[in-house]
Chain A
Amino acid sequence: MHAQFDFTVDGLPVQVHSFLSQGFAYSNDNNYLTMQTSKGSFAMTDVGVNVSAQLTDRLRVGAQVYDRDIGQLGKWHPTLDWAFVDYKFADWFGVRAGKVKTVLGLYNDTQDMEALHTWALLPQSTYPLDMRATNIAHTGGDVYGNISLHKAGSLAYTAYAGLRSFDPWGGYYYFSLASGFNIEKISGHTEGFDIRWNTPISGLTAGTSFVNSTINRSGQWISGPFLGYSYSITNHPERTVAAYLELVRGNWHFAGEFRNWNVLNEISSTILGTFPYQDGDQESYVSGAYRVSKHIELGTYYSHYHVDSPTAGDPNSSHINDNAATVRFDLMSHWDLKIEEHFIRGYGNSYSAHGFYATQNPEGYKPNTDLLVVRTGWSF
């Protein structure tokens, strides 16, 4: 806790914090995460700055701006990451209103802050960089609290409802364009909860999350045989169920998470009529890390992404499996460097939007992707 930038305004304490990371990615074959990784890419930069103030014992306000340039994503178009008012009536009950980071699984709300994690890339089955914007925050409200269970530990809960966030420079738009149709209108809502039990076993947390949400969009085909025709997709609520475990004991850190996602869309177009489309996937990972010393941490994870609707005749489209190994160097208390190797097998189907895009791989996909990621981050 060495570096803090705080000051007072009319006697009120104000804190400013920031983070910045720069990465380099190099792959043997397929281009990954919208970067030209097969040639080596430095297009992997992100930054965030926040300001917050504790106005009274119970009331706090704050906001964070986030920007990134990761391959074709972000392109230095800043977004309001979160901005909310938080009133805590009691330790067991508080409310937040505004744009709030969505609590989903272990790391959804902290996925951008590389300094918090052992990894240069979080398991992409569960926390895909390209789909970040669709799950990262909602504009609405949360209720939250922490309930002591005495000898049985404690229970932290968050329940929320609001409008989904969309980023025209995010992966969802990029995926649509890469698939041959643009997005002219998009809207959606999201509701959900997260409950995590801090068990009486030291360092062991178990939790579950549930999300019910929609994405309704319309636009035109921009390529292919239906060029110029309009379409609309009505999303019957898509549902995500997550379960997770985390054990932090001494210098060891283990985590595991499983998610199941399913959706039923109703696709309408002037030329094709109306028809349903059902899809789903399963996302999971297990990870282990050991802090060797104050300056070095070693880690590894296995990430598994399974799609319910693989491309017919292509077994590599049913999954993306990633074995990763990381060395993290904490060069200074607020400056880290990570060197990480990924052995990725499979590439998902054309609707996966999990790192592999035909526009970045026009000659088709190779079944295996070996990827080196070097990332350095600074925060205060």
Chain B
Amino acid sequence: MKLTNPLFLAVTLGALAALNLVAGEVKIIANSSVGASSVSADELKGVFLATKTSLSDGSHVEPVVLKGGATHEAFLKEYVGKTDSAFETYFRSLVFTGKASMPKALASDGDMVAYVARTKGAIGYVSGGTATEGVKTLEVK
């Protein structure tokens, strides 16, 4: 197949655009007390699996999740590598062995932004189009 094949190019560009759209669906937000302006994918995964409680800059962080929905599922798939039910099972295994608490779960993007804005160390996620005044947006490297 020639790389200049118009059909191949169209499919490739379409796939890249779709990937970009998926990544752009979720915005990572944090309380202003969090010093970092970016977070690695590994750090983010560790924070939401309760194996990391601080970022590389030393900021203590507390994960906050949405109760459900497309943004929640997209976040888990993209950054945690689990389905919603697998994520819940994972956290229940920690809770019932005493190793962690259930993360705070919020009903909407608006609730998430409001909670993260007022809670020291909170780190969460919202859909890409959500207004995020009062919180900082973290770039995922």
Contact = CB atoms under 8 A, between A and B. Distances in A.
Query: Does B associate with A?
Result: yes
Interface of A: 1-2, 4, 6, 13, 15, 17, 19, 48, 50, 52, 54, 57-58, 60, 62-64, 82, 84, 86, 88, 91, 100-101, 109-110, 112-113, 115-116, 146, 148, 150, 154, 156, 202-203, 248, 250-251, 253, 291, 294, 330, 333, 379
B98 A113 contact: no
A148 B101 contact: no
A100 B49 CA distance: 20
Contact of B93 (A48, A116, A248): A116
14 contacts: A2-B67, A2-B68, A15-B95, A48-B96, A58-B53, A91-B46, A91-B52, A101-B97, A113-B96, A148-B46, A154-B46, A253-B86, A294-B85, A333-B88
Contacts of B95: 15, 17, 50, 52
B102 A150 contact: no
B42 A150 contact: yes
Contact of B81 (A1, A154, A203): A203
Interface residues of B, number: 30
A91 B54 contact: yes
A250 B89 CA distance: 14
A347 B93 CA distance: 31
Given A91-B54, A148-B46, A64 B102 contact: no
Contacts of A57: 53, 60, 121
B67 A50 contact: no
Given A15-B101, A291-B85, A50 B96 contact: yes
A379 B93 CA distance: 12
B105 interface: yes
Given A82-B98, A248-B86, A294-B85, A146 B51 contact: yes
Given A1-B105, A4-B105, A113-B92, A86 B42 contact: no
B99 interface: yes
B105 A19 contact: no
A330 B53 CA distance: 32
A6 B86 CA distance: 22
Interface centre among B53, B96, B103 (most CB of A within 10 A): B96
Contacts of A251: 83
A112 B101 CA distance: 18
Given A91-B53, A148-B46, A101 B98 contact: yes
Given A116-B93, A248-B86, A146 B98 contact: no
Interface in B31-76: 42, 46, 51-54, 60, 65, 67-68
B91 interface: yes
Given A15-B102, A88-B53, 5 more contacts: A13-B101, A109-B93, A110-B97, A116-B92, A330-B85
Contacts of A52: 95, 98, 101
A84 B42 contact: no
Contacts of A54: 101
Contacts of B88: 1, 333
Contact of B89 (A4, A116, A203): A116
B81 A148 contact: no
A48 B48 CA distance: 26
A52 B96 CA distance: 10
Contacts of A150: 42
B46 A146 contact: yes
A64 B98 contact: yes
Contacts of A50: 95-96, 98
A146 B51 CA distance: 6
A378 to B, nearest CB: 12
Contacts of A6: 102
Contact of B103 (A1, A109, A248): A1
Contacts of A1: 65, 67, 88, 91, 102-103, 105
A63 B42 CA distance: 31
Contacts of B42: 148, 150, 154
Q: Which 7 A-B pairs have the closest CB atoms?
A: A1-B105, A146-B51, A62-B98, A101-B97, A110-B93, A57-B60, A113-B96
Contacts of A101: 97-98
Interface string B102-140: 110100000000000000010000000000000000000
Nearest to A158: B99
A62 B60 CA distance: 21
A85 B92 CA distance: 19
B70 to A, nearest CB: 14
B132 to A, nearest CB: 22
